[in-house]
């Protein structure tokens, strides 16, 4: 499991780097567009469209990062009140539901991406698929990281550790 997780983390780090570069490109493009629009009464026709695509990609990659880092809302007083077994069941249910949501994002994102190949974005003429291509990618990472957390939770519980 550790080997699989380290390979997945390595791949995901490249996806995160891509997201960071995208965010930097978006900031630069928006800045240049604002300067051109207000300083020279012209602008970059495709700036808003590219910025929107980058925001969509960044949002879903950040969602996968949230699952990777287990950044869900947790109430830490519950294990003390209800016991470790009940909290373990809630944690397993949480990871399972996140996995199901990841599958929904992955499957329906794939359908949207395929459907998006039929149309083009107006300013850039890129296939509309670029808006949706991140969904199956993020969905795969969400499912795999939720599965890793689920397995780790079960292993920790079997060893008698805190849930």
For Cα atoms 65, 66, 68, give the angle at the middle one, nearest 5 degrees: 60
| Confidence bin at 129 (pLDDT 50/70/90) | very high
Classify burial at 119, counting beta carbons within 10 Å of its beta carbon; exposed 0-12, middle 13-18, buried 19 or more: exposed
Half-sphere exposure of 136 (CA within 13 A, CB side): 11
Q: Is pLDDT of 162 > 60?
A: no
Which three-class secondary structure state does DSSP give residue 127? strand
Q: Rounded to an integer, what distance in angstroms lies between the CA atom of residue 122 and that of residue 128? A: 9
What per-residue confidence (pLDDT) applies to 125?
95
Which three-class secondary structure state does DSSP give residue 120? strand
Which three-class secondary structure state does DSSP give residue 48? helix
Question: What mean pLDDT, rounded, does the chain reach?
Answer: 91
Q: What are phi and psi of 127, to 5 degrees?
A: -60, 140
Which candidate, 159, 135, 154, 12, places its Cα nearest to that of 89? 154
* For range 148-156, the mean pLDDT: 94
For residue 115, CA distances in Å to 62, 67, 74, 120, 148 come to 24, 27, 37, 11, 31
Residues 6+ away with beta carbon under 8 Å from 29: 44, 47, 50, 51
What per-residue confidence (pLDDT) applies to 161?
62
Overall pTM surpassing 0.85 (yes/no): yes
């Amino acid at each position: 499991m550790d080997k699989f997780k380290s390979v997945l983390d390595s791949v995901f780090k490249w996806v995160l780097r891509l997201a960071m570069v995208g965010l930097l490109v978006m900031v630069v493009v928006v800045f240049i567009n604002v300067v051109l629009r207000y300083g020279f009464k012209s602008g970059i026709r495709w700036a808003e469209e590219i910025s929107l695509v980058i925001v969509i990609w960044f949002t879903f990659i950040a969602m996968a990062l949230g699952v990777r880092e287990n950044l869900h809302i947790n109430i830490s007083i519950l294990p003390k009140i209800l016991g470790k077994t009940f909290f373990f069941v809630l944690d397993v249910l949480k990871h399972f539901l996140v996995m199901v949501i990841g599958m929904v994002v992955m499957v329906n994102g794939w359908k949207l991406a395929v459907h998006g190949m039929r149309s083009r974005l107006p300013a850039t003429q890129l296939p509309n698929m670029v808006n949706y291509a991140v969904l199956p990618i993020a969905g795969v990472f969400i499912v795999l990281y939720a599965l890793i957390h689920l397995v780790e939770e079960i292993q920790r519980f079997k060893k008698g550790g805190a849930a």
